[in-house]
């Protein structure tokens, strides 16, 4: 027995359950939609910029670590010089230079102090 019933196409398309936007995003189906394909270059640009930010942050952290190590090394060297009495702080160094100049020592071009005797 043949039937003459033919289901309409409109009815078939409405029978398919529509998924919510949450499931479309979670399932990744939004990536294949024709409306979103024109935005692919912008997404690529955004991901590239995020990658640059991550790499630069990593570089900054490494440089901060190196600077911190150098500061510790500097402080240890200063402490060692102070313990050996071979260190003159900058403030005292300037005072010593002024005292030497008052006593007749003059700074030479080769950064050596010598006594100039005036007649």
Q: What is the spatial distance between Cα 18 and Cα 29, in angstroms, rounded to a whole number?
A: 12
For the chain, percent helix, then strand, then coil, each to nearest 5?
65, 5, 30
Apex 43 CA angle, 37 and 45, nearest 5 = 130
For the chain, the first-to-last Cα distance in angstroms comes to 141
Domain boundaries, position 64: 26-87
Whether residues 103 and 118 share a domain: the answer is: yes
The pLDDT of residue 109 is 58
The pLDDT of residue 26 is 82
Asked if residue 18 is part of any domain, the answer here is no
Whether residues 64 and 79 share a domain: the answer is: yes
Residue 40 corresponds to which tokens in the numbers above?
A: 């692919």
Whether residues 96 and 82 share a domain: the answer is: no
Q: pTM for this structure? A: 0.46
| 3-class DSSP assignment, residue 66 | helix
The pLDDT of residue 66 is 94
Beta bridge pairs of residue 114: 106
Whether residues 54 and 98 share a domain: the answer is: no
Identify the H or E element spanning 106. Answer: strand 105-107
Whether residues 78 and 96 share a domain: the answer is: no
Task: Select from 69, 88, 68 the least CA-distant residue to 78.
Answer: 88
The pLDDT of residue 21 is 75
Per-residue pLDDT of the chain (119 residues; tens, 9 = 90+): 677 777 666 655 555 567 777 887 788 777 788 888 888 899 999 999 999 999 999 999 999 999 999 999 988 888 887 777 766 666 677 777 787 778 777 666 565 555 666 65
């Amino acid at each position: 027995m043949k039937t003459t019933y033919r289901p309409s196409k409109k009815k078939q398309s409405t029978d398919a359950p529509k998924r919510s936007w949450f499931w479309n995003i979670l399932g990744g189906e939004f990536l294949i939609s024709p409306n979103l394909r024109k935005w692919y270059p912008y997404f690529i640009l955004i991901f590239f910029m995020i990658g640059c930010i991550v790499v630069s942050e990593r570089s900054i952290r490494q440089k901060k670590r190196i600077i911190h190590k150098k500061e510790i090394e500097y402080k240890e060297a200063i402490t060692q010089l102070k313990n050996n009495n071979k260190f003159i702080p900058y403030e005292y160094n300037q005072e010593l230079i002024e005292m030497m100049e008052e006593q007749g020592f003059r700074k030479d071009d080769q950064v050596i102090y010598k006594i100039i005797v005036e007649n």
